Chains A and B, each alone.
Chain A
Amino acid sequence: MQVLRLEKKRLNHFLNVVKKGFELIAPVKSDLVRFSKIHHAEEIQLTKNSYFPVKEYFFRKEETLFQFEGTRITVPAYEAKKRVFFGIRRCDLNAIKNQDIVFIRDMGDPYYKAARENSYLLGYHCNTAPSPYCFCGSLDLVDFFDLMFFDKEDHFLVEVGSEKGKSLTEKYQEFFTDSQRLITRNEKTIPGVHRLENKDISRFYDHQDWKKGADICLSCGACTTLCPTCYCFEIHDEVKTADPVKGERKREWSSCQLQEFTRVAGDHIFRKEREDRFKHRIYHQLQYFKEKYGVQMCVGCGRCIEGCPTRIDFVRILNEMKNGKTENNG
């Protein structure tokens, strides 16, 4: 793919110009780093990855699916705000790709689709792993972006990844020059200390070490909320006080770590034990999703470890299973 060059000192200028035509979303540091609407390009910080994933802009925390009056249904207009996202890391871009598989390819979800179609994904490539917990190098991540910014001392190399990305570089062509080179495979690997040694976990289902994680699990759902790929939700109705026949059906983020999540009619709970729920999350990430869609769902961002109040390191737990160690060796 074509690779362009953007001088570093012109980045803010470029983004400020982009901001005039689009809503610009990028990581900002407040108490934590989070993706927010940008007012001045100077606010953007790129040293740490966002604590919260970017998924909330596509798969929203709460979405009104439709309004109803008795049995008559009105579907709300889908949001069509044109947005440019800047500073999404390779892991998070792959996470968007995985959510696309679920919401667009598999379910044809119009709410998600509308938000995705109106967005431009501008990535920022990590030169080194931004967190001690991330392990994206162990997973098979692919190129998925409209534009990818590679940080090189005084300039950025900007790889064009799609027609959408190309149209954007043409629109703002005064900022870019041709770099006369390509990005090597080596430049796309991200060195990090944390590694998931064992990706095929099918033979470990009955392993006793799962308990190590489950014992220090609060079932608070931080892992799934912070995960850029987790997409489970629950649906409920909200009726109007003036006329309870009218109301809205809403979709809300939920979590497989909750007992309530698998409660069904007749009050049966499928995954009552904490260990089953913990295991289910890891198996969904590393095995079930792959069986269904051909890729692993986990992208190795490490948020579920960093954001966990007790820092359950499922990567270490799995690695130790591989090495055959079963005792807790601190």
Chain B
Amino acid sequence: MKTDKNKKLKVGVYGITGCSGCQLSIIFNEEEILDLLSLIDLKAFPFIKELNIDEEFDCIILEGLVANKGDLEILRKLRRNSKMLVSLGACACTGCVPAYRHFTLKENYEHLLYKKQEELQDVEPSPHDEHVKVDYYIPGCPPDKKEILRFIKGSVRGVLPRPHQNPVCIECRRNGNACLLDEGKPCLGPITTGGCNAVCINGGFECWGCRGPTKDMNLDLMIKMLRDRGFDDRFIQDRMRTFVGLKLPMLERVMQGPKSKVLQTRFDGEKKFYE
């Protein structure tokens, strides 16, 4: 689609508090990055670009979560300047590991903080949609590089790709993997949104749920299954909260509810206890 430069989609890629891995995921589309650059008008991408024009955007792709006042200012400003705001990565969408702070006591982490923390003016770590309206989410830690590409191609054509809703298991079984739950591992695939091609399980590593819970998840059953496999409640809670704790506000209630204790499931494998 050859359009003249003025009509191209004006895109800006920024990052607030985060590890920059999500922005890297964009660049990891090595084979198609040049085509991508001709498709859009990349106004700003401070991570890789020297000249960044800060003006009106059609689309802002933003990595990282709000962890201090500066982040919040940037987020609000970008939102004002752009027609569309896209949260890129687990931090931006769900709060990811930094937001785990909500679930632990201050004395557990206080001694680890930088000395000059007053200057940082930290706020409660929170994903974008707790502060501004978000138009599209590209979840994952890190996000799938092809999904980012698909989103950009879609927005250029004016047809946004349908967000993934299916659990990780769909892709995992399609890939011919053995079920890690059958091996007694605490895999969160059944309640986690797919779209990652089950990359962790392909490598023999259980799903930690970085892409967020599915709308249709059976949380009672998932908890019961992990209990059946010998994991204690503390472990289950910690594991489920690692990436998406803020999106599972019902977790504690469900764990204490009767249903997650009485469901009749069958597990023939060996019980394993994880540290």
Residues of B within 8 A of A51 (CB): 178
With A32-B178, A239-B157, A307-B179 given, is the CB distance from A220 to B264 under 8 Å? no
Residues of B within 8 A of A274 (CB): 216, 218
Interface hit among B31-39, B48-56, B119-127, B130-138: B31-39
B181 touches A225 (CB 8 A): no
What string of 1s and 0s marks CB contacts (under 8 Å) between B238-274 and chain A?
A: 0000000000000000000000000111110000000
A216 touches B263 (CB 8 A): yes
With A218-B218, A221-B173, A258-B165 given, is the CB distance from A242 to B35 under 8 Å? yes
What string of 1s and 0s marks CB contacts (under 8 Å) between B165-182 and chain A?
A: 111011001101011011
A311 touches B265 (CB 8 A): yes
Q: Of A34, A240, A242, A330, which is in contact with the most chain B CB atoms at under 10 Å from its CB?
A: A242
B39 touches A244 (CB 8 A): yes
Complex Cα gap A272–B153 (Å) = 31
**Is B190 in contact with chain A by the CB < 8 A criterion?**
yes
Residues of B within 8 A of A31 (CB): 178
A to B CB contacts below 8 Å, 22 in the list: A34-B176, A216-B265, A217-B218, A219-B190, A219-B216, A220-B167, A220-B189, A221-B167, A221-B173, A225-B174, A241-B153, A242-B35, A244-B39, A255-B166, A258-B170, A259-B215, A274-B216, A309-B179, A309-B182, A310-B221, A311-B266, A330-B264
B215 touches A309 (CB 8 A): no
Interface size class of B (residues with CB under 8 A): 35 or more
Complex Cα gap A242–B32 (Å) = 8
With A218-B218, A222-B179, A311-B266 given, is the CB distance from A241 to B35 under 8 Å? yes
A245 touches B1 (CB 8 A): yes
- Please pick, from A216, A240, A253, A328, the residue contacting B174 in the complex, using a CB distance under 8 A: A253
**Is A151 in contact with chain B by the CB < 8 A criterion?**
no
**Is A61 in contact with chain B by the CB < 8 A criterion?**
yes
With A239-B157, A307-B179 given, is the CB distance from A259 to B165 under 8 Å? yes
Residues of B within 8 A of A254 (CB): 170
- With both chains docked as a complex, state the minimum distance between the C-beta of A182 and any C-beta of chain B, in angstroms: 39
- Please pick, from A215, A216, A259, the residue contacting B216 in the complex, using a CB distance under 8 A: A259
User: Which residues of B line the A interface, CB within 8 A?
Assistant: 1, 32, 35-36, 38-39, 149-150, 153, 156-157, 165-167, 169-170, 173-174, 176, 178-179, 181-182, 189-191, 215-218, 221-222, 225, 263-267
A220 touches B1 (CB 8 A): no
Tell me what chain A mostly uses at the interface: helix, strand, loop, or mixed. loop
A260 touches B165 (CB 8 A): yes
Residues of A within 8 A of B178 (CB): 31-32, 51
**Is A226 in contact with chain B by the CB < 8 A criterion?**
yes
Residues of A within 8 A of B181 (CB): 309
**Is A174 in contact with chain B by the CB < 8 A criterion?**
no
A310 touches B225 (CB 8 A): yes
Complex Cα gap A242–B31 (Å) = 11
Complex Cα gap A263–B32 (Å) = 32
Residues of B within 8 A of A258 (CB): 165-167, 170, 216
For chain A, residues 283 to 326, give those with C-beta under 8 angstroms from any C-beta of chain B: 307, 309-311
- With both chains docked as a complex, state the minimum distance between the C-beta of B143 and any C-beta of chain A, in angstroms: 17
Residues of A within 8 A of B36 (CB): 241
- Please pick, from B169, B182, B267, the residue contacting A218 in the complex, using a CB distance under 8 A: B169
B264 touches A218 (CB 8 A): no
With A222-B169, A309-B181 given, is the CB distance from A216 to B264 under 8 Å? yes
What string of 1s and 0s marks CB contacts (under 8 Å) between A14-55 and chain B?
A: 000000000000000001101000000000000000011000
Complex Cα gap A81–B272 (Å) = 45
**Is A243 in contact with chain B by the CB < 8 A criterion?**
yes
Complex Cα gap A121–B176 (Å) = 22
A241 touches B32 (CB 8 A): yes
Residues of A within 8 A of B264 (CB): 212, 216, 328, 330
Known: A242-B32, A260-B165. 7 other contacts (CB 8 A): A220-B173, A220-B190, A221-B166, A221-B169, A241-B32, A241-B149, A309-B179
